[in-house]
Copies of this chain bind each other. A is one copy, B any other.
Amino acid sequence: MKPTIKDVAKKANVSVATVSRILNEQQGYTAATKQKVLRVINEIGYTPNAIARGLVKKTTQTLGVLLPSLTSGFMSELLNGIVNTAHKRGYSVIICPTGDRGKDTPGYLKVLNEQQAGGIIFACEWPKDEYIKEFSRIHIPVVLVSTYSEHHQIPYIRVNDKQAAYQATKYLIDRGHQHIGLICGRKKDPIASIPRFEGYKQALTDFGLAFREENVVYGDFRYESGIKCMEWLFKKSPNITAVFAISDEMAVGALSYAYQQGIKVPDKLSVIGYDDTQIAEMAIPPLTTIHQPIYEMGERAVKMLLNDDETKGSIIMPYRIVERDSVKSMT
> Of A8-16, A112-120, A182-190, A313-321, which stretch is located at the interface?
A112-120
Interface status of A284 (Cβ within 8 A of chain B): yes
> Does any Cβ of B come within 8 Å of A49's Cβ?
yes
Q: Given A51-B115, A55-B52, A70-B83, is A282 in contact with B94 using a C-beta cutoff of 8 Å?
A: no
Binds B, one of A71-79, A147-155, A228-236: A71-79
Q: A164-172, A202-210, A212-220, A252-260: which lies at the B interface? A: A252-260
* Complex: A70 Cα to B298 Cα, angstroms: 13
Indicate if A285 sits at the interface (CB-CB under 8 A): yes
A82-119 Cβ-contact flags toward B at 8 Å (1 or 0):
01100100001111110000001001101101111000
Contact check, A107 vs B94: say whether CB atoms are below 8 A apart: no
Q: Is the CB of A256 within 8 A of B279?
A: no
Using A97-B80, A104-B87, A284-B256 as known contacts, say yes or no to A113 and B52 having CB atoms under 8 A apart. no
Query: How many identical chains are in the complex?
Result: 2
A87 pairs with B116, CB closer than 8 A: no
Chain B contacts of A111 at CB under 8 A?
Answer: 50, 92
Contact B87 A77 (CB under 8 A): no
Q: Which residues of chain A (190-249) have a CB below 8 Å from chain B?
A: 223, 249
**A60 beta carbon closer than 8 Å to chain B:** yes
Interface residue ranges, A against B (CB under 8 Å): 2, 45, 47-52, 54-55, 60, 62, 69-73, 75-77, 79-80, 83-84, 87, 92-97, 104, 107-108, 110-111, 113-116, 137, 139, 223, 249, 252-253, 255-256, 259, 278-279, 281-286
